[in-house]
Structures are given as C-alpha cells and as structure tokens.
Amino acid sequence: MRANRKLWAAATVCVAVIAGATGCSKGDDKAADPFAGLTADAIADKGVETTKAATAFHMNGTGKTDGEEMTIDFAVDDKGNCKGSMKAPSGGTAEIIGTGGTSYMKGDDAFWKSTGGEEGASSEESDSMSALLKGRWMKMPKESGAGEGGPGAFCDLKQIVKGMDEDTPRKGLTREADADVDGKPAAVLTKKDKDETTTFYVAKDSEKPYILRVVTTGGDEPGTVTLSDFGRPVSVTAPPKGEVVDMEELMKGAS
C-alpha cells in the first residue's frame, strides 16, 4: 500500500504539470527541426526575409564606434513610431522618440556636452548647446532624420531592415550547435571573415523564423544586437511644444 501511495503521488504531480517533466513520460521527444534539410545559407535567407517583414520590434545592444562603446535600447514600428535610449561613445545618455514622421532627442548634460555643436566645436559652443537643451527635447532637422547616420534613422523601420539585409552575409555560413536566446530555441549560424566572426541566431520557428540575435567579434566594430517583441506596436506621444527646441528653425535663424 505504501508503495502504491508513492506511485499515485508521483502520477498526480505529473498530471498537474502536464509538461511531461523528466520521469513522467516515456522517451525524450524533441520538437522537429523546422530547418531540417536546409543549408546554413538558406536558413539565413529565411531569417532575414522574415525579419524584414516584421511590423515592429524591440532592439537593444552594444557595439563599438571608432573604438568607443555605444549602447542602444529602443522599440520601432512601421508607422514611424519609436522610443528608447542611446548612450553616446563619448559619454552621456539620450532618450529618443519619434511619431508622425518627426523625431525628438532629449539628452543629459554629459550627452550634449560631448556631442553638441559641429565637429571641432569649442568647449564654449558645446556648453552653450547643453544649456540651450537642458531638460528639453531637440526636434530633429529633416535632413538629420531618416537615412543612414541620421538620429531619425532609429525611427525608420525600413531603413533598419534595409541595413540588416545589406549587412547580413548569405553565403558561406556554417550551422553550429543550436542554442537558446532568452528562452527561445535558435539555430546558430556563423560566418568567419579574416579577423572577424559574425554569429546569427535564428528562431527555430517554422512560421516566424526571426533573427533573434547578431554577435560580431573581432574586427573594427564588434558588438551584440538582440531583437524581440516582433509585431508589438509602439505607443508614443510627442512632447509638449513648450519643451521642444526646433533645431531647423534655429539653423535658419543662424544663417
């Protein structure tokens, strides 16, 4: 009887958790590999094309620019909405939001002092910029909006996925042992080029094989970027006009 009670207790636990934990099920059933029969290059193609079709995602990561580390953390959707933050290589942190085709940036003193003014600006000019924007949002000039290098590119989903499409190698990849990214199973693909290695983590999902993470080691610009929250819309409200400095208007006045 005592042995039977132990057996019933174990069975009850197994039924309760349903998940088929070790000791509750026969065998070790594994989910079928959605990429079975595909080359690493073909998996990369699927990952890039699926991610390009996403209507929104969250992106965070760190990387080096000119030898200095930069950090980004933001969400963006295909309606031109975005919000997040960035840490400049030379110091300071800034918030970034975008809505209705307009982008805004609000930095702390360290950020504006390290990035304010044109290249080669004096410390006085940088201090002046910091004082002007203290506690206020800078409305991005149109020419500094969408497009490569412009701050507004953070809010341009098409530009982001275009860059991903162009920068992701599709030839000569090798599939390594699978891994997890924040609890999600992923196929791991690597590409080695001279002193640089790029590793892609593609979700093992037959319907939505998104790129979950990209890691670059070696080379001039190492870094890691993680993508999540695919398809989740971004809710943004433009800052009050009284808290905004329109840089385009200021530049017109200066000229």
Q: pLDDT tens for residues 103-135?
A: 999 999 888 887 765 455 566 766 777 788 888
- The mean predicted confidence, pLDDT, of the chain is 81
More confident residue, 7 or 207: 207
Rounded Cα–Cα distance for residues 154 and 208 (Å): 24
Q: Which residue has the tokens 């400095």?
A: 245
What is residue 24's predicted lDDT score, i.e. its pLDDT? 43
Write the DSSP string, 18-32. Answer: -S--TTSSSS-----
Q: Give the model's confidence band at 173: pLDDT under 50 very low, under 70 low, under 90 confident, else very high.
A: very high
Domain boundaries of the chain, sorted by first residue: 69-156+239-254
Enumerate the H helices of the chain as residue ranges: 2-17, 40-52, 109-115, 123-133, 157-167, 247-254
Instruction: Show the tokens assigned to 164.
Output: 């991903």
Query: Which residues are registered as beta bridge partners of 70?
Result: 63
User: If you count them, how many residues does the chain have?
Assistant: 255
75 and 234 Cβ atoms separated by less than 8 Å: yes
What is residue 55's predicted lDDT score, i.e. its pLDDT? 96
Helix (H) or strand (E) holding 138: strand 137-139
More confident residue, 231 or 118: 231
Q: How far does CA 130 lie from the centroid of its chain?
A: 28
- Specify the pTM: 0.79
128 and 142 Cβ atoms separated by less than 8 Å: no
44: phi then psi, degrees, rounded to nearest 5? -60, -40
What is residue 23's predicted lDDT score, i.e. its pLDDT? 42
What is residue 125's predicted lDDT score, i.e. its pLDDT? 65
Q: Is the pLDDT of residue 240 over 50?
A: yes
- At 115, the amino acid letter reads T
| Helices 157-167, 40-52: crossing angle, 10 deg rounding | 170
Question: What is the SS3 assignment for 226?
Answer: strand
85 and 92 Cβ atoms separated by less than 8 Å: no
More confident residue, 14 or 89: 89
More confident residue, 129 or 86: 86
